Each structure stands twice: as C-alpha cells, then as structure tokens.
Amino acid sequence: MATRDDIACLNRLANILVDARRLYARAARIADDPDVVERIDRTMAEREKLLTEIRSLIISLHGADRDNGTFLGAAHKAFLNVRSLFDRDERAALGEVLRGERYLCDEIRKAMRDDELSAEVRAFLGLALDRIVNVEMRIEGTLEQIERARANESIHPIPPHS
C-alpha cells in the first residue's frame, strides 16, 4: 500500500529532475564541442524519461504531481548563468552535469534509506539509481578524455605558422 512518504519522496525527486532538465539545457548551451552537447542532450533525455516514470508512479499511487523545482536548483542555475560568462567550454558544461548527476544519486540513496518507503518505490529507486550511475560514469569518462587531450596539447603545443 502506498504511503504519503512514497508520494512525498517521489515528488521531491521529480522536483530535482525538473531542476536537472533546466540546468542541463543551460550546460549544453555553454559547451562548444558538438559531441559534448550531444552527450548532455542524451543525459537530459534520460532524465526526462525518468521524470515521466516518476510522475506516472506518483499518479498510480493517487498522489498529486507538482512541477516546481527546488530553491537549490534555482540557486545552482543562477551560479551556472554567471559561470557561463567566464567558462564556455566542455569541461565546465560536463562538470555541471556531473554535479547534477551526483546530487541526484545522493538524494536517491538518502531516499532509499527511508524505512517508511514501500518496497515498490524502493525497488523503483534502485533501478533508477543504476541508470543514473551508468550515465555518471560515462560523463566522468568523457571528462577524463577531455583532460587527457588538454594535457597532451600542453605537452605538445601546436607550433605557430611561419
């Protein structure tokens, strides 16, 4: 049987995902590399799918879905807006997405420790966490590739044209 705790937990995660959608769209705009933009867009689409699944689960539990976002997300978006004035590159964009994914993972892990959640919601969160961790690892890998490429450029600078 669904509890108010299930619905409250899912609504909180839905609000975080609303924030993520906004932040990732902003991060995609500050990236210069089309491959990085595509990776961010794919992550955004995966979070949109998860948001849809959470909203469906909320409705199936006879709860009310809210499309609010959080104060923390608004503050983070403002920070990203300021940062984009100075950092217009792949590292900054992917770093923001990675922070968002890590925050989402942390919040799901916290939610899963709630003894009041039903087994159904806990199982759903476990599957969602696996999906998010996979994306987090892909983003980390991309950031490492960018860092290696930049390190190689600094070791072997391109000589100026004569």
Q: Where are the domains of the chain?
A: 4-150
Cα(53)–Cα(57) distance, rounded to whole angstroms? 6
> What pTM did the predictor assign?
0.80
Reported as type and span, the H/E element at residue 118 is: none
- Quick one: pLDDT at residue 89? 77
Task: Enumerate residue ranges in the chain where pLDDT < 70.
Answer: 1-2, 65-88, 156-162
Residue 115: DSSP 8-state: T
CATH architecture of 4-150: Up-down Bundle (1.20)
Q: What is the pLDDT of residue 159?
A: 62
Q: What is the pLDDT of residue 157?
A: 61
The pLDDT value recorded for residue 70 is 54
Q: Side chain identity at 16, as an amino acid letter? A: I
Q: What local confidence, expressed as pLDDT, does residue 85 receive? A: 43
* pLDDT at 150 (0 to 100): 79
